[in-house]
Amino acid sequence: MPPLHPMLPEPTADQCAHSERLCALVAQQIDAAGGWIPFDRYMQLVLYAPGLGYYVAGATKLGDASTGGDFVTAPEISPLFAQALATQVAQVFEQTPAHIVEFGAGSGRLARDLLHALQKRGTPCERYAIVEVSAELQQRQRVVLANRPVEWLTAPPTGFRGVMLANEVLDVMPVRLFIKRDRDVLERGVGHGRSGIRYVDRMAAQDLSVAVSEIEAEAGELPDGYASEVGFEARAWMRSTADWLAQGMLLVIDYGFPRREYYLAQRLMGTLMCHYRQHAHADPFWLPGLNDLTAHVDFSAMAEAAQEAGLQVLGYTSQAHFLLNCGLLDRLQEDHTPMRSSAAHRLISEAEMGELFKVLAVGRNIAAMPVGFAHGDRSARL
Ligand SMILES: C[S@@+](CC[C@H](N)C(=O)[O-])C[C@H]1O[C@@H](n2cnc3c(N)ncnc32)[C@H](O)[C@@H]1O
């Protein structure tokens, strides 16, 4: 068993055995690839390897410490999040069919609360579809959403008209890592040896060096020893959304920054982060399969990918601005309890989710200025 981090709750023997099986699979894949795999392959395996990966096996994942969860997302904090989001969704529904596709629906709470909020405001959703890569989470969603008009798709729809949602989905898409050494760009991948699974650096492949040159052209030269990540998979996903969305809006909500802030020289170790029972740590090789692995989102890259593929940027702002623009405080006033008030604080406070989390809206064939970006739109910073 790997050494325990003294601050982290101890896993059970079964959990350790599960993680060891995943490590064996990773080692096998590294050997099959000649001794080295890029970090995105590693991240793919530890999060999504069938039957073993964090998102597809039995880990509790979402929820607070009392439920054994590793992290809490906005929809898990309070229905207030969905109630505010409903304002933006209802505005799009004025111009499109009342259809929603949600990517990566987690526990299913956002779907449940959004359907309820839209019904309550008199703008009911007629079709709600979920695209979920995890069969295990899909099963949980089916329980939470029993008797509601929700369907699960095996692939994103094409020619879709309506609203697409992705809350905290892009941050769990595998990333490639790089490190600057003596002005060279090295790719930080994964190998294994007697000390277990570990980082192994080699000269970066062409696509990664080009991506780093583009970052440096905008953010300035990165210092020696600077390590960070590039989200090629998230970029490809954003490009694909243009094939799926014929009319309407895609709302991407996640933690991240525009490129110039993301690749600040002071952010020397990038944003790769692991989550285990409400603790954040930076060791992706500690108990793989029991930890969530995430990286922040480069929102400039997301906006560019969407635009290159033919979508328009409709707005970009902080979660706090978006939720306030969407009437979060009015929703709070309608039912003001200490619990809802404290949830509103978590959602919009700068010290909590309000500023780190951003909302990017892209779309096509939508006329009105989106209500969620009426004040504090930061599209020009992307
Ligand atoms: C951090 S959880 C967020 C869950 C939920 N959206 C929330 O906010 O509570 C990430 C979710 O995205 C799913 N996921 C990851 N990659 C995906 C993809 N390419 N398409 C659809 N779902 C994906 C995961 O299985 C999981 O449900």
pLDDT at 30 over 60: yes
In a domain, 179, yes or no: no
Question: Does the beta carbon of 284 lie inside 6 Å of ligand 1?
Answer: no
pLDDT at 64 over 80: no
Mean pLDDT of 121-146: 96
Is there a contact between 361 and 373 (Cβ–Cβ < 8 Å)? yes
In a domain, 287, yes or no: yes
Provide the pLDDT confidence category of residue 7 given band limits of 50, 70 and 90.
low
Question: Does the beta carbon of 172 lie inside 6 Å of ligand 1?
Answer: yes
The whole-angstrom separation of Cα 173 and Cα 301 is 14
What is this structure's pTM?
Answer: 0.96
In a domain, 99, yes or no: yes
- Ligand 1 mean position to 140 CA, how many Å? 13
The residue nearest atom 22 of ligand 1, judged by CA position, is: 104
In a domain, 203, yes or no: no
The whole-angstrom separation of Cα 138 and Cα 131 is 9
- Ligand 1 mean position to 105 CA, how many Å? 6
User: Which domain covers residue 74, as residue numbers?
Assistant: 1-174+230-265+274-382
Provide the pLDDT confidence category of residue 68 given band limits of 50, 70 and 90.
confident
Mean pLDDT of 18-32: 97
Q: What is the 3-class SS of 327-369, one letter each residue?
A: CHHHHHHHCCCHHHHHHHHHHHCCCCCCCCEEEEEEEECCCCC
pLDDT at 340 over 80: yes
Ligand 1, pocket-test mutation among 109, 137, 169, most atoms within 8 A of CB: 169
pLDDT at 223 over 60: yes
Amino acid 11: pLDDT: 87
- Ligand 1 mean position to 132 CA, how many Å? 7
Ligand 1, pocket-test mutation among 60, 153, 172, most atoms within 8 A of CB: 172
Structure tokens at 319: 């979660």
Average pLDDT over the chain, rounded to an integer: 95
pLDDT at 63 over 90: no
Please write the tens of the pLDDT for every residue from 255-313. Answer: 999 999 999 999 999 999 999 888 889 999 999 999 999 999 999 999 999 999 999 99
259 HSE (CA, 13 A, CB side): 20
Question: Does the beta carbon of 169 lie inside 6 Å of ligand 1?
Answer: yes
261: CATH: 3.40.50.12710
The residue nearest atom 4 of ligand 1, judged by CA position, is: 106
Domains: count for the chain: 1
Mean pLDDT of 150-159: 97
The residue nearest atom 13 of ligand 1, judged by CA position, is: 104
pLDDT at 1 over 50: no
pLDDT at 104 over 50: yes
In a domain, 157, yes or no: yes
Amino acid 127: pLDDT: 97
Amino acid 70: pLDDT: 79
Amino acid 5: pLDDT: 61
Other CB atoms within a 10 A radius of the CB of residue 72 amount to 17
Is there a contact between 163 and 133 (Cβ–Cβ < 8 Å)? no
Q: What is the 3-class SS of the chain, one letter each residue?
A: CCCCCCCCCCCCHHHHHHHHHHHHHHHHHHHHCCCCEEHHHHHHHHHHCCCCCCCCCCCCCECCHHHCCCECCHHHHCCHHHHHHHHHHHHHHCCCCCEEEEECCCCCHHHHHHHHHHHHCCCCCCEEEEECCCHHHHHHHHHHCCCCCEEEECCCCCCEEEEEEEECCHHHCCCEEEEEECCEEEEEEEEEECCEEEEEEEECCHHHHHHHHHHHHHHCCCCCCCEEEECHHHHHHHHHHHHHEEEEEEEEEEEEECHHHHCCCCCCCCCCEEEECCEEECCCCCCCCCCEEECCEEHHHHHHHHHHCCCEEEEEEEHHHHHHHCCHHHHHHHCCCHHHHHHHHHHHCCCCCCCCEEEEEEEECCCCCCHHHCCCCCHHHC
Amino acid 373: pLDDT: 98
Question: Does the beta carbon of 254 lie inside 6 Å of ligand 1?
Answer: no
The whole-angstrom separation of Cα 142 and Cα 211 is 40
Mean pLDDT of 216-221: 95
Amino acid 57: pLDDT: 86
Question: Does the beta carbon of 106 lie inside 6 Å of ligand 1?
Answer: yes
In a domain, 202, yes or no: no
Amino acid 66: pLDDT: 75
In a domain, 196, yes or no: no
In a domain, 14, yes or no: yes
pLDDT at 94 over 90: yes
